[in-house]
Structure 1
Amino acid sequence: MADTHTHHHEMHEGEALAAAAQTALERSGEQWTRMRAAVFDALAEFDQPASAYDIAEAVSKAQNRRVAANSVYRILDLFTAANVARRVESENAYLANRHPDCLHDCIFLVCDNCGTTTHLDNDKLANGVRDAARAKGFNPERPVIEVRGLCEKCG
């Protein structure tokens, strides 16, 4: 029997990922500029969560000019609002959202030893957090669920 509580979606890679990100950003009312494309391309190259400073350095190298982290932060804020990127709160770092056409709450498993961050979708768990918040009279806008521990390799 299939797990009906896990969200299934198409994961994008490469040019399809950039196209899906552009569509999601434009759908949110923002423009897909050359600088935003460069920031997204740099972000998508990282296998693990990247800081704005990491991304600014990568874009600076690619463009042979200095790009300020403050500019990257503003773009990352737009990306998270448009579901193009996900912020790993405990790391103050970002991941490209490989399925920006799906809206749901993400769960991150963060290894305290090697830093590996695994993205997990479980709508039953996320909805349970939202329901618990509502039961206390709280209106949840963006649940953040991160589990710290050791990954399979380090554990």
Structure 2
Amino acid sequence: MASHAHTHHEHSGKQLVEEARVALTEAGEQWTGMRAAVFEELARHDRPASAYDIADNLSAARGKRVAPNSVYRILDLFVRTNLANRIESANAYLVNTHPGCRHDCIFLICDDCGTASHFDDDKLTSSLRAAGNAAGFSEVRPVVELRGLCADCV
């Protein structure tokens, strides 16, 4: 796609869960049963999922209520530790399929089916960081979302 693309290894299935566990513990956090359940549920989705979606699905699977606030706290931890990405425009989350690799993703979100994917362009996101720094901001974190129609919906 982009000429200055960032490359990384995409994980899926059990390998993705294991990579997430390793990344979280290396960040000094515990990989608890509930955190594993939230991560695995998020990883099942190919579209951004809300904390309420995850809480409802986990409640049904466990046979007892899982509070959305608990799920939000875990998702916020996952975003901080690079296990998930927050899709700002949808107030929803996507699993990071390369948890050990920290960079800025550019998200592509289909307005019709809701599928989300990403690509990387370090030149573009570096320029955005530099522009934010030049405007007096520190710790700039580019959040780039492109909306349109995916190839399946055109």
**What band does the TM-score fall into relative to the shorter chain?**
over 0.9
Q: For residue 134 of structure 1, what is the aligned residue in structure 2? A: 133
- 2:6–2:120 Cα contact (<8 Å) kept: yes
Are 2:58 and 1:59 aligned?
yes
Deviations 1:95-136 (A, max 9, x none): 110001000001111122221212111111111111121222
- Report the TM-score when normalising by structure 1: 0.93
- 2:132–2:140 Cα contact (<8 Å) kept: no
Deviations 1:43-91 (A, max 9, x none): 1001111000111111112212110111100000110000001100000
How many aligned positions are there?
A: 154
- 2:55–2:66 Cα contact (<8 Å) kept: yes
| Distance in 2 (alpha carbons) for counterparts of 1:13 and 1:111 | 22
Tell me by how many angstroms 1:4 deviates: 5.9
In structure 1, runs of 5+ residues without a counterpart are none
Tell me by how many angstroms 1:18 deviates: 0.5
- 2:3–2:121 Cα contact (<8 Å) kept: no
RMSD: 1.6
What SS does structure 2 have at the residue aligned with 1:154?
coil
Q: For residue 122 of structure 1, what is the aligned residue in structure 2? A: 121
- 2:105–2:120 Cα contact (<8 Å) kept: yes
Tell me by how many angstroms 1:143 deviates: 1.1
- Partner letter of residue 129 of structure 1? L
- Partner letter of residue 88 of structure 1? I
Deviations 1:9-52 (A, max 9, x none): 01111111001111111122110000000111101001111000
Tell me by how many angstroms 1:93 deviates: 0.5
- 2:47–2:94 Cα contact (<8 Å) kept: yes
- 2:129–2:142 Cα contact (<8 Å) kept: yes
| Distance in 2 (alpha carbons) for counterparts of 1:38 and 1:138 | 36
Are 2:149 and 1:150 aligned?
yes
Tell me by how many angstroms 1:153 deviates: 2.9
In structure 2, runs of 5+ residues without a counterpart are none
Quote the sequence identity (%). Answer: 58
